[in-house]
Structure 1
Amino acid sequence: MRIAALILGLVLTSFLSNAQEKEGVTLTVTIENVLSNEGKIIGALHTEGTFMKGAGIATEVVDAEKGEVTLTFTNVEPGTFAIMILHDGNGNNRMDFEANGMPKESYATTGELVFGPPSFNSAKFEVVDNDLDFRIRF
Structure 2
Amino acid sequence: MYTLIKITIITLISLFSILVSAQNNFDITINVKDANSNNGKMYIALYNTASGFLEKTYKADIIELKNTSCSVTFKDIPEGTYAVSIFHDENNNGKLDTNFFGIPSEDYGCSNNATGFMGPPKWDDAKFQLTENKSVLISLK
Question: What interval of TM-score do these two structures reach, taking the shorter chain for normalisation?
Answer: 0.7 to 0.9
2:84 is the counterpart of 1:83: yes
Structure 1 segments unaligned to the other structure (5+ residues): 1-22
Alpha-carbon contact 1:64-1:87 (below 8 Å) kept: no
Offset from partner CA, 1:13-44 (integer Å, 9 cap, x none): xxxxxxxxxx6211011112111111111110
1:38 alignment partner AA: N
Alpha-carbon contact 2:113-2:139 (below 8 Å) kept: no
Tell me by how many angstroms 1:67 deviates.
2.6
Distance 1:70 1:25, change over 3 A: same
Distance 1:91 1:112, change over 3 A: closer
Indicate the SS of the match to 1:108: strand
Which of 120, 130, 133 is 1:131 aligned to? Answer: 133
Aligned residues: 115
**Equivalence for 1:118:** 121
Equivalent positions of 1:40-119 (< 5 A) are: 40-47=41-48, 48-52=50-54, 54-116=55-117, 117-119=120-122
Q: Which structure has the bigger radius of gyration? A: 2
Which consecutive aligned stretches of 4+ in structure 1 deviate over 4 angstroms post-superposition?
none
1:133 alignment partner AA: S
**Equivalence for 1:16:** none
Alpha-carbon contact 2:113-2:138 (below 8 Å) kept: no
**Equivalence for 1:27:** 28
Alpha-carbon contact 2:114-2:122 (below 8 Å) kept: no
Tell me by how many angstroms 1:100 deviates.
1.6
Give the % identical residues: 25
**TM-score (normalizing by structure 1):** 0.76
Structure 2 segments unaligned to the other structure (5+ residues): 1-23
Offset from partner CA, 1:50-84 (integer Å, 9 cap, x none): 112x2311002111234321111111111111000
